[in-house]
Amino acid sequence: MRHLIDISDLSVTEIDELIDVANDIIDNPEKYQEKCKHKKIATLFFEPSTRTRLSFEAAMLELGGSVLGFSEAASSSAAKGESISDTVRVVSFYADIIAMRHFKEGAPMVASMKSDVPIINAGDGGHNHPTQTLTDLLTIKREKGGLDNLTIGLCGDLKFGRTVHSLISAMTRYKNIKFVLISPSELRLPDYIKNDVLEKNNVPYSEYTSIEEAMPELDILYMTRVQKERFFNEADYERLKDSCILNSEKMKFAKEDMIVLHPLPRVNEITTDVDDDKRACYFKQAKNGKYIRMALILKLLEVE
Query: Closest CB to ligand NCD among 65 and 263?
Result: 263
All residues at 6 or more sequence positions from 151 whose CB lies less than 8 Å from its CB, including other chains:
177, 178, 179, 180, 217, 218, 219, 220
Q: Which is nearer to ligand NCD, 118 or 126 (CB)?
A: 126
If one asks whether residue 167 binds ligand NCD (CB under 6 A), the answer comes out as no
Give the closest residue to 269 by CA, choosing from 258, 280, 284. Answer: 280
Check binding of 220 to ligand NCD (CB under 6 A): no
Q: Are 69 and 45 in contact (CB under 8 A)?
A: yes
d(CA 203, CA 238): 33
132-161 binders of ligand NCD (CB under 6 A): 132
Whole-angstrom distance, CA of residue 77 vs CA of residue 277: 46
Report in angstroms how near the CB of residue 52 gets to ligand NCD at its nearest. Answer: 4
Cα separation, 291 vs 299, in Å, equals 13
Site string for ligand NCD, 32-61 (x = CB under 6 A): -------------------xx---------
State the nearest-atom distance from the C-beta of 122 to ligand NCD, in Å.
8
Quick check: 165 binds ligand NCD (CB under 6 A)? no
Residue in 296, 301, 304 with CA at minimum distance from that of residue 22: 296
Question: In angstroms, what is the minimal distance from the CB of 290 to ligand NCD?
Answer: 12
Residue 225 makes contact with ligand NCD by CB under 6 A: yes
Angle at CA of residue 136, ends 101 and 113, nearest 5°: 35
Q: Where are the beta strands (DSSP E) in 183-278?
A: 205-208, 220-223, 259-261
Binding part of the chain for ligand NCD, among 21-29, 79-87, 102-110, 259-267 by CB under 6 A, reads 259-267
Whose Cβ is closer to ligand NCD: residue 194's or residue 225's? 225
Amino acid type, 162? R
Partners of 120 in beta bridges = 4, 99
Pick one of 69, 130, 153, 263: the residue that binds ligand NCD (CB under 6 A): 263
Cβ at position 286, least distance to ligand NCD in Å: 7
Length of the chain: 304
The distance of closest approach from Cβ of residue 49 to ligand NCD in the complex, given in angstroms and rounded to an integer, is: 6
As measured in angstroms, the least distance from the Cβ of 256 to ligand NCD is 27
**First-to-last C-alpha distance (Å) of the chain:** 15
118/263 with CB nearer ligand NCD: 263
Instruction: Single out the residue of 65, 108, 118, 123 in contact with ligand NCD (rule: CB under 6 A).
Output: 123
Q: Which of 59, 220, 264, 301 binds ligand NCD (CB under 6 A)?
A: 264
Tell me: does residue 108 bind ligand NCD (CB under 6 A).
Answer: no
Question: Per CB under 6 A, does 162 bind ligand NCD?
Answer: yes
**What helix, strand, coil percent values describe the chain, rounded to 5?**
45, 15, 35
Q: What are the residues binding ligand NCD (CB under 6 A)?
A: 51-52, 123, 129, 132, 162-163, 224-225, 263-265
